[in-house]
Amino acid sequence: MKITASATRSLAIFLVVLGCAAGPVSAADLSAPTTLVATPSLDGSVLGETVLFAAPLPNGMHIGFIVNRPSNLALATAFPEHAPSRKVADPVYFGGPIMPETLFAVVRTPPADTADVLELMPGLTMVMDGAAVDRIIETTPNDARYFAGLIVWAPGELDEEVRAGAWEVSPADPSTVFAAQPERLWKTRSRGGTGLEARAHEDRPHA
């Protein structure tokens, strides 16, 4: 069994989203890929204590995914009849609440001859085509991060969230997406989280 059918089930919807008419130019400086770190204003929501990668689209929208929410679900468990999935060491990541039933692969180098890819920035590409995702799993299974779902902002929407204080914004770094300890990202990247990390270190017993 291939993952293709499940992975592309909502691709048509996603492509419609990408094709929406352009909106007003964002007032914030979000014209390049960014790392978004949730502030305490998002505590209690699905985005509380998250770190996101976000990239602008030509139509004024932004696309992104949560990079610090590994699930307890192995790819082999999600697709038990797809034998190559057993080679994937990392769990599936929760990328966001939009299209959570769709699997995306994020890679440093996209597979050749693949049409449905989105270059997020140099060194980081999202693969949306189910057949291409299958090929990545079958040939280089651990050279990708696999995300279920993503986040899409309408034109101007992310700018409004930043102005409202929902996010700390910094330049994007592809290495953040592939962090070896994603569960520590928020504490190390957030100003509030850094304080928590420092206090936790002070509370540790000293030898």
Q: What is the pLDDT along the chain (207 residues), one digit of tens a residue?
A: 555 444 443 444 444 444 443 333 334 479 999 999 999 999 999 999 999 999 999 999 999 999 999 999 999 999 999 999 999 999 999 999 999 999 999 999 888 877 789 999 999 999 998 889 999 999 999 999 999 999 999 999 999 999 999 999 999 999 999 999 999 999 999 987 554 444 444 455 554
Helices (H), 25-156: 75-78, 130-139
Domain boundaries, the chain: 4-20+28-201
Fold category of 4-20+28-201 in CATH: VC0467-like (3.40.1740)
Sorted by sequence, the CB contacts under 8 Å of residue 189 that are 6+ apart come out as: 35, 37, 51, 168, 170, 176
Calpha distance 92→101 (Å, rounded): 12
How far, in Å, are 21, 71, 153, 196 from residue 18 at the CA level?
9, 27, 10, 38
User: Which two structure tokens, joined as six digits, stand for 91?
Assistant: 């769990």
Sorted by sequence, the CB contacts under 8 Å of residue 94 that are 6+ apart come out as: 66, 69, 70, 71, 100, 147, 148, 149
SS3 label, residue 199: helix
pLDDT of residue 110: 82
pLDDT of residue 181: 94
* Global pTM value: 0.81
pLDDT of residue 204: 54
User: Which two structure tokens, joined as six digits, stand for 132?
Assistant: 């291409």
